[in-house]
Structure 1
């Protein structure tokens, strides 16, 4: 993964911040009125299957709409970002601001236990994950960490067998997994005081990142693409 070694520093910081945000959003979903994950579509897909198997049509519709919302966010990301190379000038700022708007819009709905707020929040993290997946060629994702823990196990196995280990990839694994965990911890601390309004924090963070990136792009020279070809 030579392109990974060319990632600019701002991309490393951004990856950690986005994983933190996703962990915070997911924690708010788990602690909220439906106690559900907003970013883990593996679990939600299983719950959809369970609802279908048990003949619970209303539940099946809910989980189907949660998944559709996440996919819709990824669709928006693909339409906005478009390219698979990480380069100043891409419309990451637009995607982040849109994620912020979706999170802000979800809060008053969640305050009244309206499930549409859950769909908007899932769309927001789907948009974020789609953006990062696009520029990393599916190697980096910030809204779930199953793949990273799989990588960690594989690399430990390689190390035990005396095989070479990609230490940079290990750093990415630790960065995303630890940032996601810290975001979840922050959500657990904030939720007792803020309730569903905990999502205002990631909404502010993504909006700030989006506007900050826009300013950074405005006053920086266009960079050389560093993503996978």
Structure 2
């Protein structure tokens, strides 16, 4: 029994690291879209909806099409992931989540390959929809894992929940003054997402689209780890 508990804790740490790395990939992808694809968010749909509203209010037709394309891609990714991941799987790391991440990796790989071609008048829309599909897939996969309420792409709620917990623990009059694991994970998610944005912001001006290979590598690593470590221990949930 002690060995099994130790193994479970080790697996939980690995799983937490994997979800945080997905936050890093989302930060990178969002900045790629914003800097290199006409200032559109492909992961953060809250920001994208704001951009859509601004574009409509100012009659910016190109910006409207960019935002609508990103929304359509994200919704497509969520629907596709929801069709793959069912509520019947209640394991520590459902195999369907790995499948969704594999599809996401394939979509990002297609984006990386197509980004080497000259961009025509309609080509940016294809790149936008590919990135947003990938982020829709990732969002649903992360939500299925249910780790500290982290979705990897929607961090407004994560930020609010972290400071709600902070307030309750330090100003709520309780005896506990430390942070829970979930609170620390939420803080780390925010940091990793921002770090991804910083990495992409530094790389994109000189190496347009090249930084996309980092999220691809991360996702491949997560898939390999999930297959080798989790799929043979489904009873650990």
Scaled by the length of structure 2, the TM-score of the pair is: 0.81
Greater Cα radius of gyration, structure 1 or 2: 2
Q: Specify the alignment match of 1:15 in structure 2.
A: 19
The structural deviation recorded for 1:50 is 2.7
Q: Specify the alignment match of 1:202 in structure 2.
A: 215
CA-based RMSD of the aligned residues comes to 2.6
Segments ≥4 residues shifted beyond 6 Å: none
| Partner deviation per Cα, 1:114-141 (whole Å, 9 max, x = no partner) | 2211110111011101111123188221
Distance 2:184 2:148 in 1: 16
Q: Specify the alignment match of 1:222 in structure 2.
A: 234
* CA contact 2:159–2:187 (8 Å) conserved in 1: no
Distance 1:117 1:195 in 2: 13
* CA contact 1:51–1:57 (8 Å) conserved in 2: yes
| Partner deviation per Cα, 1:61-103 (whole Å, 9 max, x = no partner) | 3311211111111112111221363434522221111111111
Q: Specify the alignment match of 1:92 in structure 2.
A: 97
Scaled by the length of structure 1, the TM-score of the pair is: 0.83
Distance 1:222 1:125 in 2: 26
| Partner deviation per Cα, 1:176-211 (whole Å, 9 max, x = no partner) | 111112222222333244211211221122123223
Distance 1:54 1:185 in 2: 29
* CA contact 1:85–1:136 (8 Å) conserved in 2: no
Q: Specify the alignment match of 2:5 in structure 1.
A: none
Distance 2:42 2:115 in 1: 13
Distance 2:228 2:172 in 1: 48
1:1-229 residue pairs with structure 2 within 5 A?
A: 8-83=12-87, 85-111=90-116, 112-113=118-119, 114-115=123-124, 116-136=126-146, 139-158=149-168, 159-163=170-174, 167-218=180-231, 220-225=232-237
- Aligned residues, how many? 220
